[in-house]
Structure 1
Amino acid sequence: MIRLLVLILALCAPAALAQDERIVLGLSETRVAITADFQGSQIMIYGAVQRYSPEPDGDLGVIVTVSGPPTQVMVRKKERRLGIWINREKVRIGRAPSFYAVATSGPIGEVLSATDNLRYKITIPRAIRAIGISAQAENAPSFVEALERIRTREDRYVMAEGMVRVTGGTLFRTDVQLPANLIEGNYDVRVFLTRDGHVVDMFEDSIGVQKAGVERFIHALAHEQPLIYGLLSLVMAVAAGWGASAAFRFVR
C-alpha cells in the first residue's frame, strides 16, 4: 500500500510542479471601435508570472497569440492560357483566422516544442484548419501556403519572434498591431508560459471589435433590414444622379 502511494505521488509530481507558475495578464484595451477614420489599433499585452515556490529550472519562454474570428476561405490557383488568366484549381479551407498574430520571447523553435505546437495550435500553419484538402487538388498544401503568404503581406498574419520582452524572469510585455481591415467579432488572446519549450501554463482573454457610429448603423441595416437598405440605396443613387445632372445643366 505504501509503495502504491509513493508511486502515485511520483507520477503526480510533474503535474504539481507545472502548477507552481501562473500567468497574470492585462490588456491595454478590451474593446476596439471601427469608425470611418479607423487606421488600426495597437494593443499592449502585459503581465507577470506568479510563483508559489522558487523558480524552477529550465529556460523560460512566453508566447502571445491574438486570433480573429475564423472564416471559411476559398483559395484559387490561376493559370495563363492563350494570354488570359483563368481559374484552374481551387481548395476550400474549412477554418482560417481572419487575423492571427504570434509574438514570442525568443526563437519559436526554442520556446515551443513541436508536440505542444501541435496540441495548442500556436504557430500560423497550425492555426489554419485545412483538414481533408488533399482530395480537392494536387499539391493542396501549396494553397494553404499561398493563403498564409497573402495574408502575411496584408499584415493580417504576423509572426514576431523575440518581440515579447521579459524582465527579471517575471514581468513580460508585447504590443500587437491590429490592422485597419479588421472584421467584427471577438479576438481571442492566449498567453503561454513555457519551460524548455513545454507549456506549463496558459491564460486566455478576448478583445471585442465592433463597428461604431454611422458605420454600425449601415452595417446593421444591411444585415437586419436588407429590403429597406436596398430601397434607401436606390433612392440615394437616383438622387445623386439627378443632382449631378442638374449641376451639369447649370454649368452649361
Structure 2
Amino acid sequence: MRALLFVLALCAVTLPATAEEIVLGLSSDTVSINTNFDGSEILVFGAVKRDAPAPENPPLQVIVTVAGPSETKTVRRKEKKFGIWINTDAVEIDSAPSFYAISTSTLLGLSLSETEDVRHRVSIPRAIRSIGAPDTISNSETFSQALIRIKSKSNQYQLNEGTVSLDDQTLFRTSIALPAALIEGDYVTRIFLTRGGAVVSQYETSIYVRKVGMERWLYTLSRENAFLYGLLSLAIAIAAGWGASAVFSLLRR
C-alpha cells in the first residue's frame, strides 16, 4: 500500500498538469458475487497532481461517491384506519441508486456548496430523482426521505463524513463498504476535489459487480428460460419440504 501511494505521489510531481488534477487507484475494479458473498470492501486511493505549490487557503477537500445502478421505486404511505394499517398514498421515484455511498475528508456541508451540490448531484437527496407526484399529494419530498431512511438502515445508503484521509494536501485514501445485497451492474465512482465549497477537479471510473458461479447460472436461467427456472424453484421447494418433514419424523421416533 505504501509503495502504491509513493508511486502516485511521484506521478503528482512529475506529470504535467494544469491547476489540480486527480491520479486515482482502486484496490479492485471488480466485485464477484457468489453463493458465499457477504459483502466486500473497496479501497480508493489517489494523489493530486499540480504544476504549482498547493495554496494554503482555502484547504483542499476530497469527496468520493460510489453509486449503484439506478432503479425505479414506488414508495407507499400507510395509515391506520378502522384499526388496521392500509396503503393510502404512493409516489413513484423515477430514479434512485440501488446503492450510494459518500465519503468525505470533512463535513459534507463544509466540502461542497449548495450550488455545486445541485450541479453535480453529490448528496444523497440530490442523487434521487423524483420528477412528479400526484396532485393530491402536497408533501411528496417525504416519500424520498422515507426511501433514504429505509436504504440507510440496510447500509445501502451511506454518508461517511471525515473518513477520507488526506496527507499533505496531496495523497488521499478511503474505503467503501459494499453490503451483501448488491445488484449486478456498473457502480460509478466519482472523486471530487473542492476548495471553499467549489469543485476544482473531478474524476470518474467504474467498479464492476458481477455474479459468478451458481449465482450467475441461476440469474441467466431466470432471464433466458423463466419456465425452467420456475420448475427448478418448485422442485427445490418440494425437496426442502420433504427433507424437513423426514427430519422431524426421525426426531419424533
Deviation at 1:54, TM superposition (A): 2.3
What SS does structure 2 have at the residue aligned with 1:182? coil
Structure 1 unaligned blocks of 5 or more: 1-17
Q: What is the Cα deviation at residue 223 of structure 1? A: 1.0
CA deviations over 1:85-139 (Å, ceiling 9, x no partner): 1000010000000110111111112111111111000000100011223636231
* Counterparts of 2:29 and 2:109, CA distance in 1: 30
Aligned partners of 1:134 and 1:141 also within 8 Å: no
Change (3 A) 1:178 1:246: closer
User: Number of aligned pairs?
Assistant: 235
Q: 1:124 to 1:242 in 2, by over 3 A?
A: closer
Correspondence for 2:50: 51
Q: Distance in 2 between matches of 1:175 and 1:82?
A: 49
1:80 aligns with 2:83: no
Distance between the aligned counterparts of 1:247 and 1:161, measured in 2?
A: 50
Contact 1:19 1:201 in 2 (8 A): no
**How far, CA to CA, are the matches of 2:235 and 2:160 in structure 1?**
48
SS in 2 for 1:118: helix
- What TM-score, normalized to structure 1? 0.86
How far the C-alpha of 1:215 sits from its partner, in A, is 1.3
Residues of 1 paired with 2:239 and 2:195: CA distance? 65
Q: State the AA in 2 paired with 1:45.
A: V
Q: Which has the larger radius of gyration?
A: 1
8 Å CA contact 1:151–1:157 kept in 2: the answer is: yes
Please say if residues 61 and 105 of structure 1, whose CA atoms lie closer than 8 Å, have aligned partners that are also in contact: yes
Q: CA deviation at 1:83?
A: 1.8
TM-score where L is the length of structure 2: 0.86
Q: Which residue of 1 aligns with 2:5?
A: none
Corresponding residue number in structure 2 for 1:27: 26
Q: Deviations over 1:167-223 (max 9, x none)?
A: 011000011100111111110000000111110110001111111111111111011
CA-CA distance at 1:247 after TM superposition: 7.2
Specify the alignment match of 2:227 in structure 1: 227
1:94 and 1:124 mapped to 2: Cα distance? Answer: 15
1:130 counterpart SS class: coil
Query: Residues 138 and 24 of structure 1: is their aligned pair in 2 closer, same or farther, counting only changes over 3 Å?
Result: same
Residue segments in structure 2 that go unaligned for 5+ positions in a row: 1-16
CA distance in structure 2 between the partners assigned to 1:134 and 1:172 by the alignment:
45
Shift of 1:240: 5.1
Which amino acid is the alignment partner of residue 63 of structure 2? I
5 Å matches for 1:94-105? Answer: 94-105=94-105
Q: Quote the residue 2:203 is aligned against.
A: 203
Q: In 1, Cα distance between the equivalents of 2:161 and 2:244?
A: 54
1:20-79 Cα offsets, whole Å, 9 max, x none, are: 111000011111111112111011100000011222342211000000110000000001
CA distance in 2, matches of 1:92, 1:146: 12
Change (3 A) 1:136 1:208: farther
Structure 1 residues 89, 51: CA separation in 2 closer, same or farther (over 3 Å shift)? same
Q: CA deviation at 1:231?
A: 2.6
Counterparts of 1:112 and 1:134 in 2: how far apart (Å)? 32
Give how far 1:241 is off.
Answer: 5.5
Equivalent-residue separation in structure 2 for 1:197 and 1:244 (angstroms): 60
Deviation per CA, 1:140-176: give whole Å up to 9, x if none. Answer: 1111111111111111111111111100110000111
Residue 32 of structure 2 aligns to which amino acid in structure 1? Answer: A
In structure 2, what is the equivalent of residue 154 of structure 1?
154
Q: CA RMSD in A?
A: 2.1
Query: Who is 2:92 aligned against?
Result: 92
